[in-house]
Amino acid sequence: MSGKKVSMPIAVRIARWSRRLSWPIVKGLFILSVVLFVGGGLSYLFNRSDSDPLQMLRWAKSLAYAAFLLGVLRAYWEKIRQRYRTINLQHSEGHVVVCGIGDFGQSLVDAFLDKGYKVAVIELNAAHTEVVSLKSRGAVVIHTDASDPAALYEVNASKARYMFAVTGNDRRNVKIIRAARQTVLDEQNSGGDSDLRCYCHINDATLYEVFSQHEVFEAGHEGFYASLFNVHDAASRFLLEKYPPDAFAALPTAGSEPLEVVIVGQTRMGEALIRQLARIGHYLRWPSVQITVMDKEADAFEHFFSSYRDISPLDDTLVPGVTVRLVKKDPEKIKFVGDLDAGDLGNPALVCCCLDDETLNIALALNLRRMLDNDDAPIVACLTSGLSDLLQEKQCRYLSQRNIHSFNPYRFASDFQVLLDDAADKIARAIHQAYLDSLSGENVADNPSLVPWQQLPEEKKNANRWQADHLSVKLREMGYDQRGVAAIDAVVDDPLWLEKLSELEHRRWMAALYLDGWRYAETGKDAVRKTHACLVPYERLSQVEKGKDDTMIRNIKHLVESPEWQTYTAFVDKR
């Protein structure tokens, strides 16, 4: 470590000195005023000729006033400073408004403050433990209901650049975005300009689709753009891109063994990983994927699984080709091999510890590492606090040497490249653009999907995202890691390989639709009833429908050679 002394800005030094010395100065002035008062009084009583008692009393009075004024200023300084910053927001543009201080809200504030943005926080709970820390870092914090238009006017939301509704209550988050849109409309009606981008966090992924149909999230509002997001869904996409189970799994010997993944904890993060595995867990080398969920509560598992029960008559089938089983064990009591029954763990290619207790996640990861037969399978401990920064691989070799990794879903979701540059959607955008280019002659009236990315409904955006998430899987099946673009050319030139990958893409497409609530119908496609005639095995498709999958496989080379792919892979590799 370098011994070079880092210089501190003058303003920071003054601020630190003022906080450290202000109360000692107040006490010193008060003591000095008392001393002068007593000395002046004694001089007057004893009629000392060598001193001026009235002058001493005047000095005592002045110092007492100074001590009083300085004490009042110091006592109310934070309120005065916060009020000044709030007033200053009324004349600011391009600041950031964060509604709600949870773990994710804290990560957002930290990220924007580090980038030099002015940040205003609206938090209903005045006793929140992070309020003092945020104020000391320069954030404006007001305590009221963020869905109240008056609160948004106070932080000048119509002139903000970004706004995040992350209160932890889905209904309130949507109300906040509605109120924000109204403030923008009021600003525009009064002759002002706005360019506000709003992000609404939906905690319950099952409600995501319902809220995506809300009129406030429709495209076409000038000066106002709002979108939905779910931290856990976004983080699960990245986690499985960073630690793809098929890259670590042993090849099946008999051709029938499934690829196994273990998820500990039926939490929101655990459920998001199950859904993402069901979307992208479709391979050529493994006939199926088996997800083992380890949790002490069976009710939560049954509640989650019941939403997908009608996809297959088999109780453990989530989507065709992906099964889920529950191992009812208390993770806190798993310390030795004897605490698990034979077959509980299996031979997993990936283990994810998703419990809400971070310390337990780390302890469990270490215990499971000792229980597994080898160290090939990575174990990922999901941590939502600053503890994840302390356990990064380079700084904590004890974990990395055991193939144990920490992952902070909130830190990923608040990353600037994810929030502002749409790094996670680069490939999805490229896929949609290729779709637009291929159908440039068609009319929007005949095909509502022929619109720019920003105008796409959230359901259509997700369809492109799930297709993009499976691109890395297809590349590994092709052998792209070893042979590069030549591997793609070989597949496209080989009709047998091309058909295999087209069939794989069809399986992935069906799984995504099943999870989104679609079901089979004999004829056509009904977007209202969510029925589709193509939800059948690949061999039953018409040549026209098979051609759509074929086109997607042929487009892979174009995607891999695009700048979007280079940007996305660089983003993944850096984290």
pTM of the model: 0.82
Q: Helix (H, G, I), strand (E, B), or coil: what is residue 253?
A: coil
Answer yes or no: are the C-beta atoms of 412 and 383 closer than 8 Å: no
Answer yes or no: are the C-beta atoms of 518 and 532 closer than 8 Å: yes
Phi/psi of residue 329, nearest 5 degrees: -135, 150
pLDDT attached to residue 556:
92
- The single-letter DSSP state of residue 372 is S
pLDDT attached to residue 293:
93
Averages of pLDDT over runs of 10 residues in the chain (575 residues) are: 46 60 79 83 70 79 84 72 72 90 87 89 88 84 90 91 92 92 90 90 79 74 85 91 91 80 93 94 94 87 72 70 90 77 85 91 89 87 75 66 87 75 83 84 73 84 92 93 85 91 95 90 87 94 92 91 86 76
Phi/psi of residue 352, nearest 5 degrees: -120, 120
Q: Helix (H, G, I), strand (E, B), or coil: what is residue 10?
A: helix
pLDDT attached to residue 312:
52
Answer yes or no: are the C-beta atoms of 283 and 321 closer than 8 Å: no
State the maximum Cα–Cα separation within the chain, in Å, rounded to a whole number.
Answer: 117
pLDDT attached to residue 254:
64
pLDDT attached to residue 434:
87
Residue in the structure block whose two tokens are 């929030």: 419
pLDDT attached to residue 391:
64
pLDDT attached to residue 26:
78
Report which secondary-structure segment, H or E, holds 298: helix 298-305
